[in-house]
Amino acid sequence: MDYFYRVAGYEWWRVVIELFLIGLVVYWVVDFLEGTRGERLFRSVIFILIAGVLILNLVAEQLRLERLEYLYRGFLIGVLVITVAAFQPEIRRALIRIGQPKFWATSSQQLAKTVEEMVTAVTELSATKTGAIIVIEKRVALGEFVEAGVRVDAMVTAELLKTIFHPGTALHDMAVIIRGDRVVAARVQLPLAEAGSIDGVELGSRHRAAIGITAGSDAACLVISEETGVISLARKGKLIRNISESQLRKQLTSTLAEGVPIGQRFLARHPGKDTGQGYKDFA
């Protein structure tokens, strides 16, 4: 009970400020790790630490279990070391972001640059009739699809997207997922919508993947046809065909202006047969 009496003796405004700052840090970390393996690991570590502190303060101190207290403090050091090793990719990514000049830029500038890189890539892929599927994540996390693909974790650039979808490369098949300003995964298998047609054109697996992923999440998708070079945009399970460069930029800009975390999918649109091995066009 001494523990509760000590807590009750704290000045309430100090407690509120401390809890608010702690909550901000935890929220930022969870938001940064959302949709990754690190998110689940972080929650597990937080649970272990909170449970351990409560047990230490409520049980060990009251019963004067000094050896248990000593072992627990050593355990905390071990947890810290293991956590640093387990979170190595996330820590490196956070430090890289902090060290980049754009970290201090406004979010609108970052998003505008990302949009221009994607528009450039999609336009050039369309001009060369290179098939591609690019998915942009929004509020609904796509972690399950990211983990099933090949992790990339690189800044979004037109050169990177064009390289990934270049025919013959190891990652060109299936989809790419973009989260914020980073390509997080490539060669991602997406759920396919039922077979059908739009305006008399039979939908291939690329179109169906675009419709399928946007029907089950708030992501947006772009599809480029390697037969015609036509660009199509999928949102909310609907496919808009033959999107021009100006229309594409306008759609992306309006979405970013909503103030929602950037998450849009660009899927290369192709009428194609589902062979079970990636997304193919009709011959």
pLDDT tens digits, residue range 4-28? 566 566 777 887 888 888 888 877 7
pLDDT value, residue 130: 92
**Predicted pLDDT at 127:** 92
Say whether pLDDT at 170 is over 70: yes
Whether residue 125 has pLDDT greater than 90: yes
Percent of the chain with pLDDT over 90: 17
pLDDT in tens, 237-253: 888 888 888 888 887 77
Looking at residue 177, what is its pLDDT?
Answer: 93
**pLDDT, tens only, 23-56:** 888 777 777 666 555 666 777 777 777 777 777 7
Q: Which CATH architecture has domain 105-257?
A: 3-Layer(aba) Sandwich (3.40)
pLDDT at residue 271 in the model? 33
CB hemisphere CA count around 220 (13 angstroms): 19
Which residue from 133, 126, 165 is spatially nearest to 264, judged by alpha carbons? 133
The answer to whether 265 and 179 have CB atoms below 8 angstroms apart is no
Determine the Cα–Cα distance for residues 225 and 130; give it in Å rounded to an integer. 7
pLDDT in tens, 68-123: 667 777 777 787 787 777 777 767 766 666 655 544 444 667 778 888 998 999 99
Alpha-carbon distance of 257 to 234, in angstroms, equals 19
Q: What is the mean pLDDT of the chain?
A: 76
Can you tell me the mean pLDDT for 182-186?
91
Q: Among 24, 42, 46, which residue's Cα sits nearest to residue 33?
A: 42
180: left (phi over 0), alpha (psi -120 to 50) or beta: left
Instruction: Kindly state the percentage of the chain with pLDDT values over 70.
Output: 69
| CB burial readout 159-182, b (16+ within 10 A) else e | ebbbebbeeeeebbbbbbbbbbbb
Q: Is the pTM of this model over 0.75?
A: no
The label of the residue with tokens 């001009």 reads 127
pLDDT in tens, 253-267: 766 555 344 333 333
